[in-house]
């Protein structure tokens, strides 16, 4: 049986078909989760963000316009929801900063799966530092960096997703890459030292 295309699913959802909405969720839940994880940096926040995104999709399905692809529309909702959540967190920061240190610690399943091999340890070390470097970027820099380098969107697609000019995307990407290079400079020094040993 052939899968209905996105436009047909959206039309069915707009007519009130709950099964069509479930199909849309199934089709995109992994991609939205991975984007949410790349933006938030941890599993728990990514799950919460993904759920909120699909709630918003269901609530605003009547506002969907076929000029943009459902994929771009979902990405835009995910990015905007992430930015809104960040804004709320900043406004509600009352807890001591030490409670936020756990964000960079992997989930127990990830830690146990890592094993003792040196290769996996190096990979975890690198991922940990990449996540910390990403957290130093502004929300907009991080968003365009993740969309470009983790999800392979073009400059035009990113501009449409975050609703800014392509020149702004290029500028944000340039600043993000420079900040990432500065934050990860010590890794290059460390690798050069390892190779010299």
| pLDDT (tens digit per residue) in 85-116 | 776 654 443 333 333 333 443 444 444 444 44
**Between 3 and 35, where is the model more confident?**
35
Q: Which residues, 6+ apart, have CB-to-CB distance to 51 below 8 Å?
A: none
Q: Among 1.10.357.10, 1.10.10.10, 3.40.50.300, 3.30.300.30, what is the CATH number of 106-197?
A: 1.10.10.10
In this structure, the chain runs to a length of: 197
Contact 58, 49 (CB under 8 A): no
Q: Which residues, 6+ apart, have CB-to-CB distance to 145 below 8 Å?
A: 134, 137, 172, 173, 176, 177, 180
pTM above 0.95, yes or no: no
For the domain 1-102, what is the CATH code?
1.10.1740.10
**CATH 1.10.1740.10 residue spans of the chain:** 1-102
**CATH 1.10.10.10 residue spans of the chain:** 106-197
Whole-number Å distance between alpha carbons of 182 and 139: 18
DSSP 132: H
Cα Rg, the chain, nearest whole Å: 19
Q: Which residues, 6+ apart, have CB-to-CB distance to 83 below 8 Å?
A: 139, 143
Supply angle C-alpha 26, 54, 93, rounded to 5: 135
pLDDT digits 0-9 by tens, 100-157? 333 443 444 444 444 444 455 555 566 677 777 888 888 888 888 888 888 888 888 8
């Amino acid at each position: 049986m052939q899968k209905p295309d996105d436009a047909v699913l959206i039309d069915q959802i707009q007519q009130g078909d709950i099964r069509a909405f479930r199909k849309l969720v199934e089709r995109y839940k992994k991609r939205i989760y991975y984007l949410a994880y790349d933006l938030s940096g941890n599993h728990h926040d990514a799950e919460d963000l993904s759920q909120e995104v699909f709630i918003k999709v269901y609530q605003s399905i009547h506002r969907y316009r076929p000029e943009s692809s459902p994929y771009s529309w979902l990405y835009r909702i995910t990015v905007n929801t992430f930015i809104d959540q960040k804004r709320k967190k900043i406004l509600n920061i009352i807890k001591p900063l030490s409670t936020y240190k756990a964000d960079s610690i992997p989930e127990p399943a990830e830690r146990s799966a890592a094993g003792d091999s040196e290769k996996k340890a190096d990979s975890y070390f690198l991922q940990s530092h990449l996540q910390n470097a990403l957290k130093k970027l502004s929300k907009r820099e991080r968003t365009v960096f993740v969309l470009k380098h983790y999800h392979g969107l073009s400059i035009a697609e990113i501009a449409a997703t975050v609703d800014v000019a392509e020149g702004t995307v290029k500028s944000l990407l340039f600043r993000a890459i420079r900040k990432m290079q500065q934050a990860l400079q010590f890794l290059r020094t460390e690798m050069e030292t390892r190779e010299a040993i």
